[in-house]
């Protein structure tokens, strides 16, 4: 989203201040905003300079501050508790469909309640040196600068356009943090070591460079996420650069970290494999939902992806595909016998899903917070209840 003038007139400014105060009161009442320092930073940090426009939906044009007819809607959205998409990019669907394209979101301004919940969870102290992965609009960076001072904040993003815009917006509001356009997986060694590392994009595992750049006792907060599920993990780094901690108690989902500005594409084709048919009582929509079961599936089927499409019989189905080529197709509509399952390849993916479902049920459908993560330079494991217990899964 380009740089647009976002100055407010007196009436708009009064309305924005009122909305900020209302949000702060609500966040304090529901336990999101817990400390006076973050409340003060929130109340004095405007959001509108960092979000001059947003996309209300993938197939709709942006709502812009410079459009008089959209101005009121823009301001109301900016000072509400919602995530606002600020950049989209064209995505080629497949080589066979060129030049037809789809669209993907590549940057957004996260809903303020989640921003503040994460910042409170980060547990900064005066003097903390913070690395933010995912500059985006610059709003989260502005809050960090307001709380800690610009000289304690470093923020990076893969997209140089976003970094340049954030630099302009931050400087216009009195903030001069260290900003750089670089791949987030590399961290930013020039300003290391860091006392806190916070990522506003999802990673499949903790990049080893973050461990290397973290000071002893540092906190890392990031969304550890794969195709099937995930949520925020809060880890503490020890003197040996081992990070250990638990997932938060609520589900989140950030945009996946990109390693190039242009969107990456992937595709797969159906191999001609023998079909194995069976029936299941598990609703396949449980696999499609972002929830606790998908979270558990992610660690036990780390190389699987999911989608909803049309099966070999022309009927809607949920698909699971593993990188070894094994796949499962489960009909969305149930019959008297249950949901029809078609499985192909060396492994019976849906049989594995049923075993994982039994494990999940047998352990009381554990919440996110019962799971933890241990990360070292040599490898990483997700575990249930105890890092040295029997239920551990290696991730990469």
Q: Which DSSP string corresponds to 90-150?
A: EEE--GGGTT-EEEEEEEEE--HHHHHHHHHHHT--TT--EEEE--TTSHHHHHHHHHH-G
pLDDT at 137: 94
Decide if pLDDT at 42 tops 70.
yes
Per-residue pLDDT band for 104 (boundaries 50, 70, 90) equals low
Decide if pLDDT at 98 tops 50.
no
Residue 212 CA to residue 277 CA, distance in Å, equals 49
Per-residue pLDDT band for 154 (boundaries 50, 70, 90) equals very high
pLDDT at 260: 63
Per-residue pLDDT band for 97 (boundaries 50, 70, 90) equals very low
Decide if pLDDT at 268 tops 60.
no
Query: What does the block give as tokens for 250?
Result: 């609520």
Arithmetic mean of pLDDT, 265-273: 49
Order of strands, edge to edge, in the sheet holding 316-322? 275-280, 339-344, 327-331, 316-322, 304-310
Residue predicted with more confidence, 73 or 261: 73
Superfamily classification of domain 10-247:
Vaccinia Virus protein VP39 (3.40.50.150)
pLDDT at 101: 52
Report whether the peptide linkage leading into residue 193 is cis, meaning its omega lies within 30 degrees of zero.
Answer: yes
pLDDT at 291: 87
Residue 331 CA to residue 280 CA, distance in Å, equals 10
pLDDT at 99: 47
- Domain boundaries in the chain? 10-247, 275-362
Cβ neighbourhood burial of 29 (10 Å; 0-12, 13-18, 19+): exposed
């Amino acid at each position: 989203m380009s740089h647009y003038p976002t100055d407010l007139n007196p009436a708009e400014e009064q309305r924005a201040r009122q909305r900020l105060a209302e949000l702060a009161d609500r966040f304090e009442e529901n336990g999101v905003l817990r400390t006076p320092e973050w409340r003060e930073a929130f109340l004095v940090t405007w959001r509108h300079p960092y979000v001059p426009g947003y996309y209300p939906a993938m197939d709709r044009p942006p709502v812009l501050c410079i459009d008089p007819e959209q101005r009121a809607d823009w301001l109301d959205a900016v000072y509400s508790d919602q995530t606002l998409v600020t950049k989209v990019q064209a995505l080629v669907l497949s080589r066979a469909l060129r030049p037809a394209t789809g669209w993907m979101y590549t940057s957004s301004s996260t809903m303020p309640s989640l921003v503040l919940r994460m910042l409170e969870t980060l547990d900064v102290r005066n003097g903390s040196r913070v690395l933010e992965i995912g500059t985006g609009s610059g709003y989260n960076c502005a809050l960090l600068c307001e709380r800690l001072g610009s000289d304690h904040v470093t923020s990076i993003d893969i997209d140089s356009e976003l970094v340049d815009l954030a630099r302009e917006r931050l400087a216009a509001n009195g903030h001069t943090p260290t900003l750089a356009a670089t791949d987030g997986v590399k961290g930013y060694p020039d300003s290391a070591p860091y006392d806190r590392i916070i990522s506003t994009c999802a990673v499949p595992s903790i990049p080893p460079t973050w461990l290397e750049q973290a000071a002893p006792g540092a906190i890392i907060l990031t969304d550890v996420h794969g195709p099937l599920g995930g949520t925020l993990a809060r880890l503490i780094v020890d003197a040996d650069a081992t990070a250990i901690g638990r997932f938060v108690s609520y589900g989140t989902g950030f945009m996946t970290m990109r390693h190039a500005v242009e969107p990456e594409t992937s595709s797969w084709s159906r191999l001609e494999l023998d079909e194995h048919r069976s029936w299941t009582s598990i609703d396949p929509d449980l696999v499609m939902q972002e929830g606790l079961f998908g979270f558990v599936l992610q660690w036990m089927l780390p190389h699987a992806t999911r989608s909803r499409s049309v099966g070999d019989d022309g009927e809607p189905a949920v698909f699971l595909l593993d990188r070894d080529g094994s796949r499962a197709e489960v009909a969305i509509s149930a019959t008297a016998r249950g949901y029809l399952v078609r499985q192909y390849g060396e492994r019976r993916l849906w049989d594995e899903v049923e075993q994982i479902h039994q494990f999940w049920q047998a352990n009381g459908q554990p919440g996110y917070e019962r799971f933890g993560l241990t990360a070292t330079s040599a490898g990483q494991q997700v575990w249930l209840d105890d890092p040295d217990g029997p239920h551990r899964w290696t991730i990469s």
